[in-house]
């Protein structure tokens, strides 16, 4: 059936049918047909007039409705408790409703830039987009919803802005956030060592002083502090008091570190603070606080880790990790490693990408353990290992190392039911020699001496990180001592481990302790050859020339900072840059050295070194890198060397200034005392 026809058409169809009937009547009676036709014409005129009148009335009704709707819409638009603006690309007013006039107390002219009454509002970041944001101006908060408005010439030529005053709810949200509770642990890092050899009265005196310092600090933050054990505390503070603690740079670390007992052993703290979140249970909060405390301890202690919105920030870390006097942990880890290796059918070992002698030596030491257990073992080398090529060339013909050194591609082809992977000299996933192999093997053991980073290999069977150790080779050597009473390593193995320790201690100049020399003595007893190591460390004429050029172009800054740029044509540029950074520290009054270099493709590398007084790990973390307190590095992709150098120098000078202004710093403290005298 036809639909949506006008009423006039309906009438015409009816009249046509009547006309047809009249034609039929005409065949029988002419007079009756003519009378019917006259009546039909009159009916047609009448119905036409009635239809026109109805159409006019309907049109008037529609017009009246539209008029009322427009008036109501305009009335609602003008009296809506929300500012509506139309602006162009230059942030100039094209149209606004009356609410803006009521907000401002005056009528703004069209063409006025909105920055004149809302200076903090910038449309550039979200021009042409749909969304919302909150901005503040004159201690008021506004919710801004924005939509693009197309014109004849530009789809995003204008923007419609809908602005609502949300000062009260935003102030409530901020007040609630300011009073959000931070839960944390405080632990004395070296409690057992600090209390060693002290009488009960002396221990009580030291604990009383430490408790007093912590209690005053917590009271200054309006916090809640309770001691759970001799060396462990729990603390609760509100979020808004965190700014006060940060502004003082957590000086409680310095005050506790300045304490000295009868044995003159310094005491350091590790603090973990975690913000409570809506989706977090109390159990999760406590577990996260403990995890962050472990992270701080893994970085060497004497630091604070603050976890806000899932991001961890570190404060402190001014002192190097204190060497542990006992090897209890080494013995426990060695026994655990023996059990892990015993259950495995294939053992894989790898270090970090672009291996150095510490990475190689530690890998060879772990491989020696696997060989002792009669296990199939392979050491995975990365595609960039020029720094150790002399040593690998030296042992490649040895029967003991036949098939030991393989590439990641070869390792992935080996079928194993229960493989285990040892990662040495790094704990950061993207730095390992074979990332695909790391992802493929579930059983992973990590051994490292670098300060623990937030980005650590997850779900490992065992993580052994000791920042107080000079090198990973030293850690592995200690593990070898407890792995078995029988001899484990050959002369080549001992020499590789000896070379690793020698490299990371800069010929025993830095980061050495009693345990370092104990490890070296063990290696010498097992045939480590210092003469072979010295031959391995010799460099060719081109390398020495590149070093000389870099040193001659170095620059010395006030405070003991020395920087240089390694020539782009230097062979093994990453290794040479590290050697240049080590050499620059031998300059009189030098305290920190930075060497910058280019790496393909479009990457700028930084080698940072210090004598231990200045923490270069914190400096390199600002560039996405990391390392140790006195040995660190970073690689910045798609960066400009000059800009990175300027930023690194600025941050380094701030670190030097901060340390020099620290009253608890022995160096500056002695200088200030001499000046007073």
CA atoms within 13 A on the CB side of 306: 18
Residue 475 pLDDT > 50: yes
Residue 362, strand partner residues: none
What is the band of 150 on the pLDDT scale with cuts at 50, 70, 90?
A: confident
- Read off the pLDDT of each residue in 481-507 and give the average, rounded to a whole number: 88
Predicted pLDDT of residue 103: 80
Mean pLDDT value of segment 136-142: 84
The per-residue DSSP string of 205-226 comes to HHHHHHHHHHHHHHHHTT-EEE
| φ and ψ of 572, to 5 deg | 50, 55
Cβ-proximal residues to 542 (8 Å cutoff; 6+ apart), any chain: 570, 571
Residue 337 near residue 364, CB atoms below 8 Å: no
* Paired strand residues for 606: 596, 634
What confidence tens digit (pLDDT) does each residue in 226-275 have? Answer: 999 888 999 999 888 888 888 888 888 888 888 876 767 778 888 999 98
Cβ pair 555, 562 in contact under 8 A: yes
What's the confidence (pLDDT) of residue 629? Answer: 77
Query: Residue 327 and residue 486: Cα distance in Å, rounded?
Result: 19
Sheet containing 158-165: which strands, arranged edge to edge?
93-96, 83-87, 158-165, 140-149, 131-137
Q: For 202-221, what is the mean pLDDT?
A: 90
pTM score, whole prediction: 0.61
Q: Of 174-178, 320-324, 442-446, 584-588, where does mean pLDDT reach its minimum?
A: 320-324
C-alpha 606: how far from its chain's center? 19
Taking CA atoms, 535 is separated from 21, 205, 386, 530, in Å, by 125, 54, 16, 9
Q: Which of 450-459, 491-500, 540-549 has the lowest mean pLDDT?
A: 450-459
Instruction: Name the residue with higher pLDDT: 109 or 339.
Output: 339
Task: List the structure tokens of 468.
Answer: 């107080």
Region 591-595: mean pLDDT is: 94
The mean-pLDDT minimum among 208-217, 254-263, 605-614 falls in 254-263
């Amino acid at each position: 059936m036809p639909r949506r026809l006008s009423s006039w058409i309906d009438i015409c169809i009816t009249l046509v049918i009547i006309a047809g009937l009249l034609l039929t009547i005409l065949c029988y009676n002419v007079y009756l047909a003519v009378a019917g036709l006259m009546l039909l014409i009159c009916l047609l005129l009448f119905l036409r007039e009635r239809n026109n009148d109805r159409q006019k009335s309907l049109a008037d009704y529609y017009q009246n409705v539209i008029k009322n709707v427009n008036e109501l819409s305009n009335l609602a638009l003008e009296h809506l408790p929300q500012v509506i603006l139309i602006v162009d690309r230059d942030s100039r007013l094209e149209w606004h409703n009356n609410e803006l006039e009521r907000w401002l107390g005056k009528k703004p002219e069209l063409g006025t830039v909105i920055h004149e009454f809302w200076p903090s509002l910038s449309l550039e970041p979200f021009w042409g987009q749909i969304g919302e944001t909150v901005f503040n101006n004159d201690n008021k908060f506004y919710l801004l919803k924005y939509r693009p408005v197309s014109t004849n010439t530009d789809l995003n030529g204008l923007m419609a802005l809908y602005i609502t005053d949300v000062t009260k709810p935003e102030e409530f949200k901020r007040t609630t956030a300011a009073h959000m509770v931070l839960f944390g642990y405080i632990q004395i890092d070296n409690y057992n060592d600090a209390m060693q050899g002290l009488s009960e009265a002396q221990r009580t005196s030291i604990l009383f002083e430490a408790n007093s310092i912590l209690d005053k600090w917590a009271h200054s933050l309006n916090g809640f502090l309770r001691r759970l054990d001799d060396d462990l505390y729990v603390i609760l503070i509100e979020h808004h008091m965190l700014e006060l603690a940060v502004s003082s740079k957590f000086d409680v670390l310095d005050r506790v570190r300045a304490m000295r007992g009868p044995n003159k052993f310094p005491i350091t703290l590790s603090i973990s603070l975690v913000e409570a979140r809506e989706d977090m249970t109390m159990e999760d909060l406590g577990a996260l606080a403990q995890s962050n405390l472990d992270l701080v301890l893994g970085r060497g202690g004497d630091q604070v880790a603050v976890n806000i919105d899932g991001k961890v920030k570190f404060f402190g870390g001014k002192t190097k990790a204190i060497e542990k006097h006992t090897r209890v942990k080494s013995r426990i880890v060695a026994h655990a490693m023996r059990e892990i290796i015993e259950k495995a059918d294939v053992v894989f070992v790898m270090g970090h990408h672009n291996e150095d002698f510490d990475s190689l030596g530690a890998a060879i030491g772990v491989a020696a353990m696997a060989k002792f257990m009669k296990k199939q073992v392979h050491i995975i080398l990365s595609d960039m290992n020029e720094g150790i090529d002399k040593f690998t060339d030296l042992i490649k013909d040895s029967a003991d190392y036949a098939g030991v050194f393989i590439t990641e591609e070869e390792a992935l082809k080996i079928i194993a039911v229960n493989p285990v992977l040892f990662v040495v000299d790094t704990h950061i996933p993207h730095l390992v020699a074979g990332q695909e192999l790391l992802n493929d093997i579930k059983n992973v053991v990590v051994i490292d001496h670098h300060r623990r980073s937030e980005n650590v290999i997850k779900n490992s069977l065992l993580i052994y990180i000791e920042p107080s150790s000079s090198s990973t080779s030293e850690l592995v050597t200690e593990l070898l001592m407890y792995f078995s009473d029988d001899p484990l390593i050959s002369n080549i193995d001992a020499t590789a481990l000896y070379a690793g320790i020698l490299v990371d201690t800069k010929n025993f100049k830095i980061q050495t302790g009693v345990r370092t020399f104990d490890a070296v003595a063990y290696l010498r007893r097992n045939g480590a050859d210092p003469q072979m190591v010295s031959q391995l460390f010799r460099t060719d004429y081109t390398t020495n020339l590149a070093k000389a050029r870099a040193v001659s172009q170095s620059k010395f800054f006030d405070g003991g900072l020395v920087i240089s740029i390694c020539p782009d044509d230097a062979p093994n540029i990453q290794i040479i840059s590290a050697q240049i950074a080590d050499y620059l520290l031998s300059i009189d009054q030098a305290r920190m050295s930075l060497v910058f270099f280019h790496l393909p493709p479009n990457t700028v590398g930084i080698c940072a070194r210090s004598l231990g007084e200045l923490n270069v790990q914190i400096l390199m973390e600002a560039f996405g890198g990391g390392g140790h307190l006195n040995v660190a590095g970073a690689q910045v992709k798609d960066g400009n060397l000059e800009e990175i150098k300027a930023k690194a120098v600025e941050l380094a000078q701030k670190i030097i200034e901060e340390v020099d202004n620290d009253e608890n710093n022995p160096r500056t403290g002695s200088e200030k005392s001499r000046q007073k005298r």
